[in-house]
A = this chain, B = another copy of it.
Amino acid sequence: MDTKDFIDFGKAVIDFIANYTETLREKNVLPNVEPRYLFNLLPEKAPQKPESWQEVLKDVERYIIPGMTHWNSPQFHAFYPTANSYPAIIGDIMANGLGCVGLSWISSPACTELEMIMMNWLGKLLGLPKQFLSSNEGFGGGVIQGSASEVTLICLIASREQTTLRTKRLHPELGEAIIKTKLVAYASDQSNSSVERGALLASVPIRLLPTDDKCALRGETLLKAVKEDLKKGLIPCCVIANLGTTGTCAFDNLVELGAICEEYNMWLHIDAAYAGAAFACPEYRYLMSGIEYADSFNVNAHKWLLVNFDCSLLWLKDSRKLVEACSVDRIYLKHDKQGLIPDYRNWQIPLGRRFRSLKVWFVLRTYGVEGIQQYIRHSIRLAEMFENYVKSDSRFELVTERVLSLVCFRMKGDNQLTQELINRLTARRKIYIIAATYREKLIVRFVIGSRLTREEDVMFAWDEITSQATEILRTVTPPLEKGSDESLKTQLWQNQKV
């Protein structure tokens, strides 16, 4: 493809994306396809000769768009959002066009330095304590990673290595391998799947501890577990605390957990993947009380901070702990400024890395701090509006307290009603919501996150939900006066079979 074709194709795709975004509201959020639909539409191998870009673009419209779940649709309320903004898309065109690999400072100084500066800008935006920022004093600093999963994994590994070395110094008679068999980490049973998975990958057993009635992990629970494990001869090494759980957006009690981590010398990692973005607004910073205890702090800018995936932000109070855990050098990686400035390859799992700070820069400058705050507050205001709809309808109940832009609700009565609601909404494909559980109760998670969502979309979603609830109750309730949960369930199943 020559430069002229690039310009034509590139501009056609810019127009395509502009049009896609502008017309998202008109599309069903979920696609109407069955597994392997695309195998019937595309050839079995690559073409021998080049094809024109016009053909490729037509095929995106023909074959890809119909198979999309539209994450940026104003009717997408399922998972926490994946950020999508115009300046971030353009920042990434720039990153790809320049196409450097920032494995060390020399491999592209601008790539390393803009990232250091952007992590400081973002740290200040969120009101982080200054020990987490990069400066001439101390060893704090931030780095952009691919995902919260990678961040959790590498922090678990760093804590594993650090605790092993410390234990070995105290007990030189023990081998490293044996020490590692005694390590244990902690998180709440509300943690994201990536926490449990990270522990499996790092080969560090993790205890998923019970939470209080607000789904928060409390100090008392952690302390009890730590003491039990110490008694068994185990070695506590790491606590992963949630600020904003995936299920219900619950907040662990950092002040209580932090003090225990300090006393027992455990790494405290904070997973604020979604909720951390809210700290851009000072009125929500009370939710991170105790942050000063943390060793590492993670927010996904690619969730609720308008920077497209991937852009997972990790700040460290002492970056040496991460770097020392698993550094490997080779002659071909060396350069003569080494040690003066971070070589980010030592701060992450991969060796290579993209120029991801460009999209952060583009977003922060064209939105400004005020633009970001406006977006966050707008999402929360819409969630509040939805919450009020739920409160106003006696067929529904709120399950946990809404703190940010997630509303957890259910149909009163047996879980089967809520399950049926979810099934119907999914089958109708007009809005996308997903299930979670609170205690034994099945709940619907309703998230506001797309920057396109407006009041009319929240009304639309509520209409869709209530109309389906009405249908469900019509087919279930008439024969029963005030049926027990059990009879409702039986009734419902019978209706379904018919």
Q: Select one of B30, B44, B326 contacting A197, CB under 8 A.
A: B326
Most interface-central of A6, A60, A99 (chain B CB within 10 A): A99
| A141 contacts the other chain (CB 8 A) | no
Cβ contact within 8 Å between A96 and B88:
yes
Interface residues of A (CB under 8 A from B): 1, 3, 5-7, 9-11, 13-18, 20-22, 30-31, 33-39, 42, 44-53, 55-56, 60, 63-72, 79, 82-90, 92-94, 96-101, 105-111, 113-114, 116-117, 120-122, 124-125, 146-150, 153-154, 157, 160, 177-178, 180-181, 192-194, 196-197, 200-203, 205, 246-247, 302, 308-310, 325-334, 337, 340-341, 349-352, 354, 358, 361-362, 364-371, 434-437, 445
Cβ contact within 8 Å between A1 and B86:
yes
CB neighbours (8 Å) of A94 from chain B are 13, 16-17, 60
Instruction: Say how far A9's CB is from chain B's closest CB, in angstroms.
Output: 5
Cβ contact within 8 Å between B308 and A50:
no
CA gap between A366 and B5 in the complex, in Å: 11
Other A-B contacts than A51-B366, A334-B435, 14 sampled, CB-CB below 8 A, are A1-B366, A5-B86, A6-B90, A10-B86, A10-B90, A37-B113, A50-B370, A53-B362, A82-B99, A82-B352, A84-B96, A149-B349, A194-B351, A331-B437
CB neighbours (8 Å) of A83 from chain B are 99
6 contacts between A and B (CB under 8 A): A7-B14, A37-B109, A46-B364, A53-B90, A71-B108, A177-B181
CA gap between A361 and B51 in the complex, in Å: 11
What are the 10 tightest A-B residue pairs by CB atom distance, in nearest-first order? A67-B110, A17-B97, A147-B350, A6-B86, A38-B113, A10-B14, A177-B181, A84-B99, A50-B368, A35-B341
Cβ contact within 8 Å between A349 and B153:
yes
Q: Select one of B52, B55, B180, B354 contacting A309, CB under 8 A.
A: B354
Cβ contact within 8 Å between A106 and B201:
no
CB neighbours (8 Å) of A97 from chain B are 13, 16-17, 20-21, 89
Known: A94-B60, A331-B436. A125 touches B46 (CB 8 A): yes
Q: Select one of B87, B154, B310, B369 contacting A53, CB under 8 A.
A: B87
Q: Report copies per complex.
A: 2
Instruction: Say how far A443's CB is from chain B's closest CB, in angstroms.
Output: 10
CA gap between A366 and B50 in the complex, in Å: 5
Cβ contact within 8 Å between A203 and B181:
no
Most interface-central of A114, A117, A365 (chain B CB within 10 A): A365
Instruction: Say how far A429's CB is from chain B's closest CB, in angstroms.
Output: 11
CB neighbours (8 Å) of A434 from chain B are 332
Cβ contact within 8 Å between A38 and B326:
no
Instruction: Say how far A285's CB is from chain B's closest CB, in angstroms.
Output: 16
CB neighbours (8 Å) of A332 from chain B are 79, 246-247, 434-436, 445
Q: Select one of B20, B53, B89, B181 contacting A181, CB under 8 A.
A: B181
CA gap between A21 and B82 in the complex, in Å: 31
User: What residue of chain B has the Cβ atom nearest to residue A50's Cβ?
Assistant: B368
Instruction: Say how far A358's CB is from chain B's closest CB, in angstroms.
Output: 8
